[in-house]
Amino acid sequence: MNEIAGIPYVEASFDKNGQGPEEEVVLPAGVTDLIIMSHGWNNNKSKAEDLYNSFFASFAAAAQPNDLAGRKLVILGVFWPSREYDTSVAVSGTPATGGGGAALGGGNGDSTKRLEEKLDDMKEIFTEAEQKKLLDEAKALLPDLEEKASVREQFVNKMRSLLDPSAAGKEDASNIFFKDDGNELMKNLKAEEEDLGEDVAGGGAALPLGVGAPAPAEGGAAGLVEILSGFKAAAINLLNYTTYYEMKTRSGTVGKNGVAPLIDKLASQVERIHLIGHSFGCRVVTSAALGSKTDKIKSMILLQAAFSQNGFSRIEQGFYRALVDNHRVKGAVLITHTPNDRAVGLAYPLASRISGDKTMAFGDKDDLFGAMGRNGAQKMEQGEAVEGKLLSVGGTYAFKANTYFNLEASDFIKNHKDIKGKEVGYVVRRAVATA
């Protein structure tokens, strides 16, 4: 059996429908605590493995005297078919020379080429023959996208046809995405640079609905804002949203159909189960907790969660509200959040564009489309959520069962992927120790 930092380690791999693992997961004898962790968006399995190795090295290094006395841990690393993707904001206009934005296509030809490349890249996500055919048909529409409303309608419909509408909801305006007239949707997504606001256009640059930054442009430019001609900008935003929605759906499916049954299968072999998710992996483990039947889930840690800040809210009818009402996690739920996480910090401005609302503040807790990794769990009932901070190693936490702890993490988490530090390892260790 493999180990990470002296802790036994096993793996479970699932396909996009949550089927797997291909081989039986075998836990060592005498285990008391099973820790299950899911990655978010990654290009390949090796990046997820790097995350798990670094994360649990910090977890082990943060040990305090006798903090886990009498416990025997095992780590289970979840792998699911995710892909890091270019999720930049696209605006309509003519690129200026210099500056931090990516000058991609002031001319129509350059913009068309950018879209053709993006549609081809999407075949690595939408791999079925019929899906690839739809992407090729969408590519054939590009020459007429600017001039013909009927073509824009067709383009939107082809993107919708790639997706399962059953996961649509108001948390990210996907209910509107599937119902609106395609041409109107494209009009709403045709953002102008002034629509982005200072927080985006002024050099910080946010991502619309993804969790990873695109590769920096040559010369060190951030490359987070793309400027394309006319409706080509709207098309880029539409494609970004399409891939976001697919990963949102996929992560939930893997959690519900794959990880949840595995948890139930392994529950009889352990005393306690702890769930950890990063980014879209938070949706994997939350869906698993909601779908499982065991009462042994004693803690859940959501690191920079890439889903709605209202996901646990009763008043907003959050998608995961039943997790709270049914007390599916018997111990504490920890949620790290920080405005330093620009990948999710302004994660839902594209959703506000889809809804036709240009007045929405970008990303803060008053934004209907704010993300949990930016603001923590919002609009919960009195006493359900507690505000706190991520502390240095050795700090004192007072975790309580059936309570959601929003941990402001700006002192230690500097970006979306910065979750492997000793302070994060320490808070997870404290959650396990006190469960």
pLDDT at 87: 53
pLDDT, mean of residues 258-279: 97
For residues 362 and 426, state if they share a domain: yes
What is the distance, to the nearest Å, from the Cα of residue 278 to the centroid of all Cα atoms in its chain? 7
**Bigger pLDDT: 227 or 408?**
408
For residues 272 and 337, state if they share a domain: yes
Q: Which of 322, 292, 286, 325 is nearest to 307 (CA)?
A: 286
- For the cut 50, the answer to whether the pLDDT of residue 237 exceeds it is yes
CB 253 within 8 A of CB 18: yes
Question: What is the band of 26 on the pLDDT scale with cuts at 50, 70, 90?
Answer: very high
Residue 102 covered by a domain: no
Percent with pLDDT over 90 in the chain: 69
Residue 95 covered by a domain: no
For residues 259 and 375, state if they share a domain: yes
Residue 310 covered by a domain: yes
CATH number at residue 342: 3.40.50.1820
Distance (Å, whole) CA 257 – CA 242: 22
What is the distance, to the nearest Å, from the Cα of residue 100 to the centroid of all Cα atoms in its chain? 25
For residues 265 and 231, state if they share a domain: no
pLDDT at 213: 35
Q: Which residues pair with 79 in a beta bridge?
A: 13
For residues 403 and 267, state if they share a domain: yes
Q: Which of 36, 32, 75 is nearest to 254 (CA)?
A: 36
Q: Which of 294, 328, 273, 282 is nearest to 35 (CA)?
A: 273
pLDDT tens, 53-100? 999 999 999 999 999 999 999 999 999 999 875 556 677 776 444 333
Question: What is the band of 362 on the pLDDT scale with cuts at 50, 70, 90?
Answer: low
For residues 299 and 410, state if they share a domain: yes
Rounded to 5 degrees, what are φ and ψ at 334? -105, 135
Question: What is the band of 211 on the pLDDT scale with cuts at 50, 70, 90?
Answer: very low
- For the cut 90, the answer to whether the pLDDT of residue 284 exceeds it is yes
pLDDT, mean of residues 416-434: 96
Contacts 24+ apart (CB under 8 A), 417-423: 417/212, 418/340, 419/55, 419/278, 419/303, 419/304, 419/336, 420/51, 420/54, 420/55, 420/58, 421/58, 422/58, 422/61, 422/62, 422/393, 423/62, 423/390, 423/391, 423/392, 423/393
Residue 259 covered by a domain: yes
Q: Which domain holds residue 278?
A: 3-83+252-434
For residues 281 and 320, state if they share a domain: yes
For residues 50 and 136, state if they share a domain: no
Where are the alpha helices (H) located in 168-266, listed in sequence order? 174-179, 182-189, 198-201, 231-253, 260-266
For residues 64 and 207, state if they share a domain: no
DSSP letter assigned to residue 73: E
Pairing relation of β-strands 297-303 and 333-337? Answer: parallel
> Cα separations (Å) of 183 from 1, 91, 160, 169, 369?
55, 17, 13, 21, 23
For residues 127 and 235, state if they share a domain: yes
Rounded to 5 degrees, what are φ and ψ at 22? -65, -35
Rounded to 5 degrees, what are φ and ψ at 118? -65, -40
pLDDT, mean of residues 132-151: 97
For residues 323 and 416, state if they share a domain: yes
Secondary structure of residue 16 in the 3-state scheme: coil
For residues 279 and 192, state if they share a domain: no
Q: How many domains does the structure of the chain reveal? A: 2
Residue 40 covered by a domain: yes
